[in-house]
Structure 1
C-alpha cells in the first residue's frame, strides 16, 4: 500500500439526559453499562471490543459468552445518541464463543468521549453498553473476552480473541532479537525493472513468482548473478495482467502463494480491492492458471472473504497469503476455530489439502481459511500478530514455522509462529531486520527452500514496494 489516507472523520457527543439517567455515575472511562430486562440468551451477548480511531473504520465487536448460538437479526447498535442506529442484518447469528464485528461508521461516528450500546430488535431493551472518555489506542477491549473490564489492548483484534496483557499476540514476554543470519543485504534485480508496488514473493525452485499491486503477476528466473529477472518466454516478459473471473476488473494483488501441487495446481493471489473501484474493499483470494502463453490471466476461482472479515480501509486489506499443509496442522494438533475441536480435513470437501492464511494490513490480524474447490470457505483460525500491520506471510516448511512480516511501519519487524499445546498458532520469536538493510517499505519476503542451504545458511529475499534506489528486490541470508 503506497497511497496516503486522510484520517477518519470523528465527532464527539454529549450524553443525552435519558442515557445519563440510565448509567448514572458509571460514566468514567471504561465503565460498562447493561440493562437487566432481556432474555437469558441475549444475556450472553456482550460488546467485546470498540475501535474509534486508527487504521480501521469505527467498529463494534460482539462476543457470545454462552453455550448456544444467538440470532442477532434486527438487533440495534447505537452510540450515545438515541437517533444514531445501526441495524444488524437479518439472518445474522453468533455461535457460542464466537465473535462478530460491525463497521458502524456509515451510521454514526465514535468520538473520543462516547458510548457503544446494544439493543434488542425492539430498540428499547438495552443488552449491553460501554462508555469511554478517550479514543481507543488502539482498541478498547474486554479482558478476558466477554466477562472482563475494558482496557486499552495491545492490538486491534476485531473478529477474534482480544489481545490482552502479555499474551502471544502482543509479544508473549519475548523481546526482539537480532536477525538470524548475515547483516549484509544486496540488490537482487537490475535497476529500473519493476518500478514501485512490487509486493508478495514466492520461490518455486528456479522460479520466483511476484505480485505487483497494479494487477500484475511476474514469473522471474535467475539472472546468473544470484538475483532475479523477468522470464522472457510464454508472454511473461513484462508480467501478465490479472483480472477477476470472467475478465472483469483489476485485482489490487498483494500476496502470492502456491499449494503442495506447485504452480501446475494454480498460482494463488491475495487482493484487497478492485483497482477499478479503488474505494471499496474486496478481500479476496484468487486462483490463476499460469500454463498458457497469453499476456492476460483471468482468475479461475475467487474466494471473496469481505463479508466474513472485520471491516477495513479499502487499501488496508489482504496483504499476505500463504498455504500451510494439512499434514503439519493435524500433526501439530491444530484446533479448528469453527468447531472448537481438533482440525479434521475430512470434514471439508476438496480443498487443496491445506489451509490458506491471510494477513490484514490495517489490523495486523491473520486469519486461516479452508478454501474449497467449489468456492465455499470456512474460517478456522483468528490470530493476532501483535503488530500494527501484516504485509507478508510465509510458511517455511524446513523449520515448520509461519513468518509474519511488517514493513517500515514496524521498522521491518519479522515474527515467527507455530502451533502450541493449545492447538493455536503462538509466537515463537521476534526478529529485527538485518542491520545492514535500511528501513525499506518491504511488502514481500521469502526464505529460500531447504535445498539451497550451504554451510548452515541460505538466501532470503525481500521486495521493496517503494523501489528505493530503483531496486525492488533485495537478498540477504538466514540460518537454516
Structure 2
C-alpha cells in the first residue's frame, strides 16, 4: 500500500485490562425496543487482535440460546469519532463467532479500547481495554464469560485458544528439535562484530553485516563457511542505496530467483533517523561494492520505532505456498490472490521489527510500489531473524539473548493468518549468545533424519561469529 493504514495512538496514563459495561435494563433504554435487550446482553466482545496495522480485528460471540441480529451495531475504539458499523443482515447464531476487520475505520493502538454499541451508537453493550498490543491475541477464556488474557494463537471466527496460562507466552517452550551440540562454523576473527542476517542458498551462505556489508560465503570443507575469494568477495562487498549513496544498516538478507534482498533499518550516514527499507541487489560482477537496483522504503507505512529498533529480519514466501495454505490478504479482507498485484517477485516478503516483535508481510511490486498484506505478532518481545522452511511449510521467528535464544514456528491457521504452533529453547549446548541470524539448510542435506542449521553471533563471542547445529528433518 502506498499510504499507511496505521494511525498513531495517543498514550494513556492508565489502562484497564478489563472493562465490562453491562447492558442497561430494558426499561432504561431510550429508543430501543425492550424485546432486543435480553438477546443483546448475550453478545460479548470475545477476541481482539491489535497490530497497529492492516488486520486489527474485533470478534463478537453469542453466549445465549437464541440468534441475535447485530446489523447496524457499532464498534469503536477509545475515540468516539472512530466508528465501524456492522453490515446489514449480520446475525450471530447461538454459540456463534463473528470477527470484524476494523482497520478500514480506525487502528487499534498499543494502549486502547474496543467498545460495542447498539445501532443507536449510544447504548454500550460491552467493552475491553488493554495496555499493550495483542501477543498475538487478547481472548476471553472461557468464550463469552471469562476474563481476557494473552492467548496462544489468533482464532478469529472460532473458539479461543485458552489452553495454558496468560501473560504473553502461553505456549510452553520445549527442547530444541535437534542435537544439543553446537560448534563454531567459521575461522577465528574472520568477520568481527555485527554479523546479522543469514540465508542459505544451496552451496552459498549469504550474510548481512550491520556496517553496510554483504558476504558471499562458500563451504570450507569441514562443515563451516568461509568468504568466497572470487569476484571481489574476499572481504565482503559494501552496500549502497540506489544512486550509490549512503550506507544501509543491513540487518537481514534473503534471496529469490530475482536477486538478493536486504532489510535495512536506517542509513548509517544518518544513524539517528529510521529508514525502514527493503533493498534489491544484483550480486553479479567483480566490484568491491553493490548499489541497490531498487528500494522499497516502508517507513511511512509502519509504526514509528527507534532508529536502531527497526527492520531486523526478512524472508520470502512463494505465492503458491501462501495460496495453498489459505493465506488471507488483510489489506483486502479476502483470500490472497497474487494476480491482483501484477508484476512482483512471485511471493510475499515478510519483515520483522526488532523493537515490537511484529512481523509484516509485503507484496513488493516491480514498479517500486508496495502493499502490506499482513501484520501479526511473532509472540516474542523482539524478532531478529525470519526464515521460511518450504519442506515443512512453516515460518521460523528467532529472538536473540533478549529472549534467551527462543525460536518459534508459525503456520497459516484457519483464519488465514500466521499463528504460533511451537516454541523451542535454544540447543542446550549453545550459550545465550547474541544471535541475530539463523539459517536452515535444504532438504537435500538431510542425513539420517537430521540437517545442519547455522547461527550468526552479533557479538563475535570467542572470536567466532558463525555456529553450526542440527535440526530434525
TM-score (norm 1): 0.70
The CA deviation string for residues 208-242 of structure 1, in whole angstroms up to 9 with x for no partner, is 10000010000011111111111111111111111
Distance 1:348 1:30, change over 3 A: same
Indicate how the Cα distance of structure 1 residues 335 and 103 shifts in structure 2: closer, same or farther if over 3 A, else same.
closer
Matched, 1:378 2:375: no
The answer to whether the 8 Å contact 1:170/1:387 transfers is no
- The aligned counterpart of 1:98 is 103
Size of the aligned set, in residue pairs, is 396
Q: Distance in 2 between matches of 1:394 and 1:205?
A: 15
Give SS of 2:452's match.
strand
How far apart are the structure 2 equivalents of 1:448 and 1:182? 15
Separation (CA, whole Å) in 2 of partners of 1:67 and 1:352: 41
Q: How many Å separate the matches in 1 of 2:412 and 2:132?
A: 30
Change (3 A) 1:150 1:243: farther
1:77-124 Cα deviation digits (max 9, x unpaired) = 89xxxxxxxxx9xxxxxx9621766999xxxxx9xxxx999xxxxxxx
1:216-295 map, 5 Å: 216-259=213-256, 261=257, 265-295=258-288
1:303 aligns with 2:300: no
1:98-137 maps to which residues of 2 (within 5 A)? 98=103
Indicate conservation of the 8 Å contact 2:50/2:108, yes or no: no
The Cα of 1:190 is off from its aligned counterpart by: 0.5
Moved more, 166-175 or 322-331: 166-175
Change (3 A) 1:346 1:135: closer
Alignment of 1:430-445 (within 5 A): 430-445=423-438
- Deviation of 1:421 after TM superposition, in Å, equals 2.2
Q: How does 1:174-253 map to 2 (within 5 A)?
A: 174-253=171-250
What residue is the counterpart of 1:448 in the other structure?
A: 441
- d(CA) in 1 for partners of 2:128, 2:323: 43
Do 1:462 and 1:475's aligned partners in 2 also have CA atoms closer than 8 Å? yes
Gaps of 5+ in 1: 1-10, 15-26, 34-47, 71-75, 79-87, 89-94, 105-109, 118-129
Match of 2:386?
393
Query: Match of 2:342?
Result: 349
Partner-residue secondary structure (3-state), 1:258: strand
Offset, 1:187: 0.2
Task: State how far apart, in whole Å, the 2-side matches of 1:49 and 1:422 are.
Answer: 12
SS at 1:176 equivalent: coil
Please give the per-residue CA displacement for 1:423-455, whole angstroms capped at 9, x wherever unaligned: 221212111100000000000001111111111
Deviations 1:351-398 (A, max 9, x none): 111010111111111111111111111111111111110000000112
Distance 1:137 1:425 in 2: 16
**TM-score scaled by structure 2?**
0.71
CA distance in 1, matches of 2:438, 2:190: 18
Aligned counterpart, 1:315: 308
- Helix, strand or coil: the match of 1:276? helix
The 1:153–1:472 alpha-carbon spacing in structure 2 relative to 1, beyond 3 Å, is same
Gaps of 5+ in 2: 1-10, 22-47, 60-69, 83-99, 115-126
1:293–1:280 CA distance, 2 compared to 1 (3 A): same
1:150 Cα offset (Å) = 11
